[in-house]
Chain A
Amino acid sequence: MITFYNKKNDWFKVILISLLFSTVTTLAYASQPVSTLKKIKIGVIGPMKFGVGQQEWWGAKIAADEINGAGGVVVKGVKHEIELVKADSNETKSTTDAVNAMEKLITFDKVNFVTGGYVAEPVLAMQEVIADSKVIYIGGAGTQMLTERVAKNYNRYKYYFRNIHSNETMFSSVIFSLIDMEVEKIRTELGISKPRVAFLLDKIQACEVMPEIGRTLLPKMGAEIAGVWRTSMRADDLSAELTAIKASGAHIIYHFLAGPSATVFSKQWGELRIPAATAGYNNELPWKRHWKDTNGMCEYEVGFCNIGRTEMTYKTIPFFDKFLRETGEYPTDHSSTYDNVYILKEAVERAGTLETEAVLGELEKTNSIGTRGRIAFYPRGHKWPHDKVFGAEYDTQVGVQWQKGSLMVVWPDGRHVVGGLDDKSMIGVKYKGTVDYKLPPWMVEYWKGKTGK
């Protein structure tokens, strides 16, 4: 039996108690719930009643959970937990609602940073709000007006960065590259020397430049414009437009459908067996549910998005699979909020402070591997400062096509690269797992019948 009444045992007692105390406090600190730590609040803004907003939220949440689970953001040795604040911008219906939602995030929720956003006009309005409030916003929307503003008035608009979508010049080059790929296929398989391209575009800001770019690029590809149709984002029925496009003799439909009408397009294009290939942006195309929503009518439809299940970086496939496991859906463009949360974390840690100007300076120096490519921003002095760098190794986008119920990556194919910025770097880029593009069989049958080939 140990006695505690002699000097030797007193020392033993002190050492034992000290050891026990150290062990307990160490364990207590390590197991300390993160919620007792300081917080970094990130607002996630988007049309939350729609799939777009859901993707923005899911992407941010997965990143925040990972970061918090790994100990949070460390700012000068102090751990910070990321707290996400969800804001429904309702931007597909109302710009006023979007502005109000952003103002609430900043003035009431007092977020440190914001990410999200989708429709150009509301995002332009929200950009004014964050400029007034001097809050960093890593946003979406494809209009290059957003970063042209940064170029024209850097001091006011420098708080905006774009890392969800590419701007319209860049993604137009992706679409025209897809068209270039299809034009070659149409020439070789159908014997049509000068394919006709019909434009079917939402009536939104991001689409304004596309026909003009087409008038320049299509003749160089040996193609011509069949017509330009502008439709409402909320159109319920596109059968009149599609039958008119068929009547125009178009072989390819350049489409940009960023709203719910995108599903209508896929469904009716397939139902009516419109004999034209598709190339463009269909907001709903990369969703897993799209196959079921269109009853398989989207087979052979081609579009682009900024992620596919292919080795764009070493992070892509693990992220893709984790996203699918946790949400039941494929990640689409809008899940880029995942990368946005990480680059904010890194910028804050490098800056060693949450102070906006310091973080902004570090954000401008971002150079990290994301789930879609290397993330970096064009610097001040560029015509689109704070836009994500586009090109090989960086943001390339991928062309995807539904084939037999699976969403396959068909581009970059290493060859077809047209227009855009720094596009020459894309020659030779072809991710592992990319498959050949296929023309819709009904289109082949229709045009072979017409050309007698």
Chain B
Amino acid sequence: MIELIIINGLVYGGVYAVLTLGFSLVFGVAKLLNLAYTAYYMICGFIIFVLATILGVDLIPSIIVAILITCLLGMISYEVCLARVKEHEVTVLIISVALAILFQELFLLIFGGDYRRIPPFVTGFLEIAGVRVTYQHFIAIGICLITLISVGLLLSKTKLGYAIRAVAQDREIANLMGINVDRVYILTMVISVALAGIACAVVSPIFMVHPLMWVHSLIIVLAAAVLGGLGSIRGSVIAAFILAFTEVAVVTLVPGGSFLRGAVSLGVMIVVLIVKPEGLFGIVFEEERL
């Protein structure tokens, strides 16, 4: 039983970590609580579905095109809806939720509510200590690691990364130092949406695609971001694994309460906020905070 929790926990944790990365990035830099983040994840899924399943385009080109289209959409919706109100957190919150619901209803109208299949990169499974895990799950974990390393390198080794971190630390000073703050915000938004697209590309063959898929993902993303410490990428990735292990433990140890796995994630988030309002790694990884 313990091996079941460990292996499934690692698998789910990898998936949730990919999802959480982009959200933490945009919040850490732009201080934007963009609740439409997982809606882009849903949109990317449907674009891949249309291209790969309906039109028969090969999977890799479908994913690339879908990510590009989603980034463009993310950029446009940021410029049109969020850029002007980014100083007002509550307004950003409300507008981003409204945007997510708008996208949801639009896709419900076009595609209906039934679940849609996206072909996996590879079929089949591997059995480890008696636990069966699909190859697609392993790909998700692998891409999570590559993405995390890539984002880390971007932030620590590139000019853009320095600019992003500077803006995150102090926007006014960064502006005075000649950094184009608005351009950094847009680029951060684009990177964030691209990360949502990458998450979708590896996760949707596992989960399937439907217009309400953004809701549960948003809960996970928020819980991981808060639990890890808002703005701490490393913290939120670790928190994603903590939440994943919690969910898998619920399913394995309390099978009759399997439907409560999402509620448990939120419960963990509430408990942490009460005990440590800054999040689990809010202080430890202060130097890592963007």
Contact = CB atoms under 8 A, between A and B. Distances in A.
A260 interface: yes
Contact of A241 (B134, B208, B255, B262): B255
B183 interface: no
Given A244-B4, A263-B115, A273 B252 contact: no
B256 interface: yes
Interface stretch (A44-52, A114-122, A303-311, A414-422): A44-52
A292 B208 CA distance: 13
Interface string B96-137: 000000000000110011111101000101000011111001
B256 A247 contact: no
A272 B134 contact: yes
A243 B262 CA distance: 19
B129 to A, nearest CB: 10
B259 A231 contact: yes
Contacts of A54: 112
Given A49-B108, A240-B247, A263-B208, A230 B255 contact: yes
Interface stretch (B141-149, B210-218, B270-278): B210-218
Contacts of B130: 247
Contacts of B212: 93, 234
A268 B11 CA distance: 15
A236 interface: yes
B207 A264 contact: yes
A267 interface: yes
Interface string A269-287: 0011110000000001000
Nearest to A295: B117
Interface string A246-263: 110000000000001101
B62 interface: no
A230 B256 contact: yes
B206 interface: yes
Given A227-B255, A236-B213, A264-B208, A293 B115 contact: yes
Contacts of A154: none
A237 B256 contact: no
B131 A243 contact: yes
B12 interface: yes
B125 to A, nearest CB: 5
A236 B207 contact: yes
A228 interface: yes
Contacts of B256: 228-230
A230 B113 contact: no
Interface size, A (range) = 35 or more
B1 A247 contact: yes
Nearest to A228: B256
Interface in B227-273: 247-248, 251-252, 255-259, 262
Given A51-B114, A294-B117, A243 B247 contact: no
B134 A239 contact: yes
Nearest to B206: A237
Contacts of B12: 237, 240
Q: Which of A92, A228, A231 has the most CB of B within 10 A?
A: A231
Interface residues of B, number: 39
B8 interface: yes
A240 B123 contact: no
Contacts of A240: 8, 12, 247-248, 251-252, 258
Contacts of A231: 258-259
Given A247-B4, A272-B134, A295-B119, A49 B113 contact: yes
A293 B206 CA distance: 13
A267 B123 contact: no
Contacts of A243: 4, 8, 131-133
Interface string A51-78: 1001000000000000000000000000
B284 to A, nearest CB: 30
A232 interface: yes
Contacts of B248: 240
A263 to B, nearest CB: 5
A203 interface: yes
A267 B208 contact: yes
Given A234-B212, A236-B207, A247-B131, A50 B258 contact: no
Given A231-B259, A237-B206, A244 B251 contact: yes
B204 to A, nearest CB: 9
Contacts of A261: 115
Contacts of A284: 114
Contact of B206 (A203, A230, A239, A241): A239
A247 B123 CA distance: 22
Q: Which of A230, A244, A272, A273 has the most CB of B within 10 A?
A: A244
Nearest to A233: B259
A284 B115 CA distance: 10
Contacts of B4: 243-244, 247
Contacts of B262: 232
Contacts of A230: 255-259
Interface string B184-213: 000000000000000000000011101011
Contacts of B1: 247
A296 to B, nearest CB: 10
Given A237-B206, A237-B207, A264-B207, A229 B113 contact: no
Contact of A293 (B117, B207, B213, B251): B117
Contacts of A93: 212
A49 B112 contact: yes
B132 A260 contact: no
B132 A272 contact: yes
16 contacts: A47-B113, A49-B112, A54-B112, A228-B256, A229-B255, A230-B255, A236-B207, A236-B208, A240-B8, A240-B251, A241-B255, A243-B133, A264-B115, A267-B117, A267-B208, A293-B117
Interface of A: 47, 49-51, 54, 92-93, 203, 227-232, 234-237, 239-241, 243-244, 246-247, 260-261, 263-264, 267-268, 271-274, 284, 292-295
Interface of B: 1, 4, 8, 11-12, 108-109, 112-117, 119, 123, 125, 130-134, 137, 206-208, 210, 212-213, 216, 247-248, 251-252, 255-259, 262
Query: 7 tightest A-B contacts by CB?
Result: A203-B259, A236-B207, A229-B255, A240-B251, A49-B113, A232-B259, A50-B113
Given A92-B113, A240-B252, A241-B258, 18 more contacts: A49-B109, A93-B212, A229-B256, A234-B212, A237-B206, A237-B207, A239-B11, A240-B247, A240-B251, A240-B258, A241-B255, A244-B252, A260-B115, A261-B115, A263-B117, A268-B134, A292-B117, A293-B115
